[in-house]
Amino acid sequence: MADFKRGLGAARKGGEYGLRRGMGNSGPNRGPCSHFRKYGTCRFGSACRFSHDLGSSEHQDHGSAKRDSRADETPEEHRARASYNSWRSLIRRLPQANDLYAMQSLWDGALDILNSDDRDWKQTLPKDLDNDDEYHGRNHIQALLSKRAQAGQYDRLIEISRSFLLVMTHSAMVDCLSVDTYVGSLYSFMSGANGTRAIPFFQHLCEILVATRAETVQTIPLVRLDSTLIALSTALSELIRREARARYNEDLPNLINSLETAAQLITEEPTVTSNIIISRTRDLRAVITRACGLLSDVEFEEHSTSVLRSTYPRDIVMPGERHDNDKADITKINIFPTRAEIMSDAREFLPSTDPDQPHFLTSKPERHIDTYFRLLRHDTFGKLKDALGSLMKNIISDPNQLTNPRLEFGDTRTYTYSNAFVSYLMLNSRGGLQARISFLEPYSIRRGSTVDRRKWWEESRRLGEGVLLSFIWIQDSTVQHLFFTVAERSIETRNDDSLTHNDNTATVTTKLATQDQPAVEALLDLSRQKIRGVLLEFPHVLPATFVPVLENLQNMQRLSRLPFREWILPDRVDGPPGVKLDVPPPLYARHAGFAFPLASILNPGASTMSLHPSSSGNDPFLVAELEAKTELDHGQCVALVAALTREFAFIQGPPGTGKSYLGVKLMKVLLDVKRRAHLGPIVVVCYTNHALDQFLEHLINTGIPKIIRVGGQSRSELLENHNLRNITQTEAKSKHERWQAATAYQKLDEYEARSKRILGRLHSIQKRVEWKYFERHIARNYSRIHAQFNPVDGDGYTLVGRHPFDIWVAGGALDDRFVAQLGTASTTLGSASIIQKAVRNVQSLSYAERRMLIELWTQELQRDAAEEFFEIIKDAEATQRCLTNVHEEVNRRVLQNADVIGLTTSGLAKNISTLQHVRSKVVICEEAGEVTEPHIISALLPTVEHLIQIGDHQQLRPSINNFHDLSLESDQGILYQLDRSQFERLSVGERGRPSMPVAQLNVQRRMRPDISTLIRETIYDKLIDHPSTAQLPDVVGMRKNVFWLDHENMEDEKQAEIHHKKSKSNDLGSRDAMRNDFEIVLSERDQDALIKDGFTAQDPSEDQAAVEQDNKRKPLEKKKLSDLLRVATVDNFQGEEAKIIIVSLVRSNKDRKVGFLKTTNRINVLLSRAQHGMSNSQTTLLSLALKVVAGKPVWTASQIADTDVRRDVIPKLCMRFSNANSPANADISLAIILARSQPVARIAEDAWSR
């Protein structure tokens, strides 16, 4: 173990030296290093405790070692090796002209290997095909692409081409991340210059496919013609995606037309093949149009827009020229704001989501993606840019602001760390370019003990990994700025990069948010000059949650890719309102004879039943049969049919109607056809971790075991063994992947060692002017000056003592004459003149001129070193991407073999690059009403054919950061409506356009009828109570199950004056919450009653008087009764339920403001959280402390009257004396009784006024 530790340390310190081939311990008692024997390298180098001597007597025969390893092969592995070696012998030989048999054998053999189960050989194949040094795979590709068939020879070329195209589009090629480099190289070769090699061949293949179909005698089955055509379209799409230059090929439009024509002629009627080809040709045309840069001629329509918007037509606005990051093409926009963008006073270009407002793009999909990219980016950075720009401008006028520890940032939650500087810069072989930034400890802990400081950092959770940082400093009288993210946070005192290592200084490890050359050079300057500045932390801005979404939108825009565009962006229609879209079945279900088997959801003993894709939920006989044979109610049956028979399906689930239950049944049906329809894993996306965990637990409990949960925020013990992180730990890498990883680690260690030398040179040049640092630069760029510093004279004698350069640099003492001379020289002589003078005689330069020349050389050296350093950074990034692909390929394989993949919308964003290579045809989005449209668009994986959204747009809307600018509830945000989900937009519909058909669940099982009536009569007029809800017993201890307490006690008027915007950038702790002390007292009486009944709210040793001082606690503060009492806001309680709900509405004021309850969405959630429990053994109570604001009633007077409103009195029922009734000013025993039998949930208003 000690040897291993020493080896590890030596490997870390030795860098490139520890990886040199042939080094290592070769002692006779050392066993062979298996890693070195396999790959020829070892990370531990000479410190390795195993032998690297392959020539020793014990291991002199390397071939024998291979034979020994082969002896352990299974018969299947032996056959796979023999088969691959046989195929490899074909690509060892150059292709022969007209040898069609060898050509057919090569590509048939390659297809067999890719279809086999041996992962190693499947990954070796693309590597060998791309290997020009040993094999001739590229020559064989060129030979086929140059082939042209004459009449009568079409069949053979079609068969060869089919095998070739199936190889090039095989999942093991295009989806395997670890071989993507080789596959990309093969596609680049296949394309040729601007597509000149592939496109003519594809054109010829289209022509002979059509000619073959037209022949009287069909020699090739139609199914093989279909598969050839699909493979051709797939290969063309992949080539266009990978090779941007091929998009400009002049013959590409003709090829796309030929492809579409071939699909129409080969298939006699619309089929799956024709639908696939039509869809792909549409996408390809969009890519060509975009590549040609065609913008729109805007046409103004005289139709009005959505009922929520103004119909006044606005002028078209073009992005560009506001600043350096204001681009018309979103693919060229930097995700993070640039300095010029932050400092710009120009209004940001934000296009409206109203499709009838003008836009500079004609393509509807491109316009849609462009719009939501800009809105999501503004939602993330809009307020932050304003705050940073204001600060930087203030620093220009007052540089002392840099040291101000209490900078103001308005509504943007920010922590400030003053006197910050880059203390250490490094290229870490594992973490990439990293900078340690040190700063003064916050004042409140600066004089505290180490233990206190550690505790403070631990509890504050500041500077968490992944959080966005901003560093601002002044350089050359200019305020500069860089974005960072936290790479590593340590509070261990013994670590020198820790937040607690130094009494006054804290250090955190960071990474540049954008690693372009200007940012890297600026970082080098910060490190070299130790420039001081201010470090800002934005604790609620996590780039990992939005950068992948924005980058994915950019990628979709590059390819003009928007699946289901005809449903997401419906065309205008003439006629009366209320028209619904006619959505066809999913593509995989359109094959002849396809049907969904329903055996897995039928009741025991029920007769066999299946569902044809053309079925309709409006068929009363079908729905009645399904309702009779399953446990689904009528609304669930209709929704099941709709979800399965529409490729783009919406299901609305009002509170308590069993959305999750239906989702489980739906999942069972889909899994029954998974293998037959090649669905791949079914992706389940939820907005919250809680909802995702619940849904996946239901699936496991119903017998679906192959479930993978992505993300580390799950609190479910049942899902622990289903987490992707845990599963991949047991998944072995292939031999090829292990070789790739070892090679990548070797390169990264070499880059790390080279970067250290460059950084050392940079810092040394800054400190000391010595010949060894300047010699190479002067010799390369100033050879005639270099010759004058030669220590060997013309007679061959070597100068003894100091080097001539060092003597020349010294020049003389720095006195007043020198200062004057320097000033004169610096104004009268430029660098070019000094260089010319030095070329003639370097000794003739004055001291000032020498210093100026040295300064010039120093700047050139620093510039060259910075450029070299940046190139190393780029190479290291490329290598790190390859290494990441190797690791992500393991994740992809695990995910591809799952039945169900579950993740949140944030988890999908973080893993989008891997998920895009998982061939999944079905995506189910739960809580779709809470998901913003950009996230839904991003969830449309490239292979998706079926999207099912389950949600309720009449409950809470998506949460956004910038309420003022982008919310449909604000005056300014009405044009943008970023918090309007796609589910709501298409369910409600836009004026003049058809809406999406929505299947609504209509039977609720959660609330007793006197609770459900509150939302039925106001929101869900078709909602039906299940008979079981009428059987719920009355609430113990209360005369009324639903009670409204009306009072006239006013809220805190000071807080009411503050306008609180809904912003995730500020947490609840930073808001000034609305407060009503009367309701606080009521809730505390509940609490006190619980305490008297034996439940402790604090440690018994605490002083009771101190706990209850002033009888004015924090509003609805969570106590240690958390096992019995839950305190939550309305917005945080969506999707959850509780046995007992006590609502404090807080708002009671003379201005008649109801706050955020003016929206029915929150009222709906507030009124529908009380549950009865699946066992039907618990009771339900909704006790509402309601202030009816005169002139603005939340519910109608009749509804309130029906619930027997009482002023200042709570009608309680004593269980000992059933006729007893006590006033509200006595201790409330309600909580005492309820606390004994069931948990309590209390919802508080989220505290914003409008």
**560 within a domain of the structure (yes/no):** no
Residue 1074: the pLDDT is 58
Predicted confidence band at 47 (pLDDT cuts at 50, 70, 90)?
low
State the number of CA atoms in the 13 A half-sphere of 34 facing the CB: 4
Using alpha carbons, list the distances in angstroms from residue 444 to 402, 438, 448.
19, 17, 8
User: Which pLDDT score, from 0 to 100, does residue 1209 have?
Assistant: 52
pLDDT value at 1205 more than 60: no
With pLDDT > 90 as the criterion, what percentage of the chain qualifies? 47
Verify that 527 and 495 share a domain, yes or no. Answer: yes
Are 124 and 268 contained in the same domain? yes
What would the mean pLDDT of 558-583 be, rounded to a whole number? 90
Contact residues for 1077 (Cβ-Cβ < 8 A; gap 6+): 1049, 1052, 1112
Segment among 407-411, 443-447, 537-541, 988-992 with least mean pLDDT: 407-411
Q: For residue 802, what pLDDT is reported?
A: 83
Collapse the DSSP code of 707 into the 3-class scheme (helix H, G, I; strand E, B; otherwise coil) and give the result: strand
Same-domain status, 420 and 451:
yes
Question: Does 551 have pLDDT greater than 70?
Answer: yes
Residue ending a domain, among 71, 93, 127, is 71
Query: Do both 448 and 507 map to the same domain?
Result: yes
Say how far apart CA 994 and CA 582 lie, in whole Å: 9
Q: Is there a single domain that holds both residue 91 and residue 189?
A: yes
Please state, in angstroms and as integers, the Cα–Cα distance from residue 200 to each residue in 149, 203, 237, following that order. Answer: 13, 5, 15
| Confidence (pTM) | 0.83
Start-to-end Cα distance in the chain: 66
Both 115 and 213 in a single domain?
Answer: yes
The two three-digit tokens of residue 837, written as one number: 């003078």
CATH code, 507: 2.40.30.230
Does one domain contain both 1089 and 1216?
Answer: yes
Average pLDDT over residues 64-87: 75
Please tell me whether residues 81 and 34 are part of one structural domain.
Answer: no
* pLDDT for 1185: 36
Is pLDDT larger for residue 889 or for residue 1168?
Answer: 889
Residue 711 lies in a domain: no
Instruction: Kindly state whether residues 907 and 805 are assigned to the same domain.
Output: no
Residue 1178: predicted pLDDT: 31
Average of per-residue pLDDT across 384-400: 91
Q: Give per-residue pLDDT as tens, 1047-1069.
A: 677 776 555 444 443 333 333 33
Of 684 and 907, the structure prediction assigns the larger pLDDT to 684
Residue 51 belongs to a domain: yes
Query: What distance in Å separates the CA atoms of residue 628 and residue 741, rounded to the nearest whole number?
Result: 57
Q: What is the pLDDT of residue 1076?
A: 55
Give the tokens for residue 66: 């291979």
Task: Tell me, yes or no, whether 198 lies in a domain.
Answer: yes
Domain shared by 213 and 337, yes or no: no
Contact 136, 92 (CB under 8 A): yes
Residue 243: pLDDT over 50? yes
* Domain annotation covers residue 895: no
Q: Tell me: the pLDDT tens digits for 118-173?
A: 999 999 999 999 998 899 999 999 999 999 988 878 899 999 999 999 999 999 99
Residues 497, 506: Cα–Cα separation, whole Å: 8
Report the distance separating Cα 454 and Cα 459, nearest Å.
Answer: 9
pLDDT band at 666, cuts 50/70/90? very high
H or E element: which one contains 868? Answer: helix 847-896
More confident residue, 377 or 1238: 377
Q: Does residue 250 form part of some domain? A: yes
pLDDT above 90 (res 563): yes
List of residues 6+ apart from 939 with CB closer than 8 A: 683, 685, 905, 908, 923, 925
Domain extent for 39? 2-71
Residue 15 pLDDT grade (very low, low, confident, very high; cuts 50, 70, 90):
very low
Q: Please state the rounded mean pLDDT for residues 520-536.
A: 93
Higher-confidence position of 858 and 1225? 858
Q: How confident is the model at residue 268 (pLDDT cuts 50, 70, 90)?
A: low
Q: What is the 3-state secondary structure (H, E, C) of 1131-1184?
A: CCCCCCCECEEEEECCCCCCCCCCHHHHCHHHHHHHHCCECCCCCCCCCCEEEE
pLDDT beyond 90 at 203: yes
Q: Check residue 229 and give its pLDDT.
A: 92
Q: Residue 43's pLDDT is what?
A: 60
CA 32 – CA 615 distance, rounded (Å): 67
CATH number at residue 1061: 3.40.50.300
Last residue of a domain, one of 367, 402, 437: 402
pLDDT classification of 830: cutoffs 50, 70, 90: confident
Digit-coded pLDDT (tens) for 1113-1163 = 444 444 455 556 667 777 776 667 777 777 777 667 777 676 666 777 877
- Answer yes or no: is 1194 within a domain: yes
Six-digit token string for 16 = 């490139």
What is the spatial distance between Cα 1213 and Cα 1203, in angstroms, rounded to a whole number?
Answer: 16
Tokens 């061959």 -> residue: 796
Buried-exposed string 781-807: b where 16+ CB fall within 10 A, e elsewhere: ebeebbebbeeeeeeeeeeeeeebbee
Rounded-to-integer distance, Cα 55 and Cα 57, Å: 7
Task: Evaluate if residue 45 carries a pLDDT over 70.
Answer: no
Residue 400 has pLDDT above 80, yes or no: yes
pLDDT top residue among 757 and 1047? 757
Residue 240 has pLDDT above 90, yes or no: yes
Choose the final residue of a domain: 227, 254, 287: 287
Q: Residues 271, 272, 274, 278: is their CA dihedral positive or negative?
A: positive
1087-1094 average pLDDT score:
48
Q: What percent of the chain has pLDDT over 70?
A: 76
Residue 61 has pLDDT above 90, yes or no: no
User: Which of 31 and 375 is assigned the larger pLDDT?
Assistant: 375
Residue of higher predicted confidence among 24 and 572: 572
**Confidence band for 520, pLDDT divided at 50, 70 and 90:** very high
DSSP state of 734: P
Average pLDDT over residues 1071-1087: 50
In this structure, what token pair is assigned to residue 1184? 């509402």
CA 316 – CA 320 distance, rounded (Å): 13
For the segment 179-185, the average pLDDT, to the nearest whole number, is 94
Q: What pLDDT does 20 receive?
A: 36
Same domain, 95 and 235: yes
Give the tens place of pLDDT for each residue, 778-805: 999 999 998 988 888 777 777 777 888 8
| Cα four-point dihedral sign 1175, 722, 704, 659 | positive
> Cα torsion for 480, 485, 491, 492, to the nearest 10°?
-100
State how many domains the chain has.
7
- Which pLDDT belongs to residue 1170? 67
Distance CA 148, CA 930 (A): 56
Bridge pairing between strands 468-475 and 533-538: antiparallel
Cα-flanking dihedrals φ and ψ of residue 510, to 5°?
A: -130, 170
In a shared domain, residues 272 and 242:
yes
Average pLDDT along the chain: 80
Whether residue 337 is predicted with pLDDT greater than 90 in this model: the reply is yes
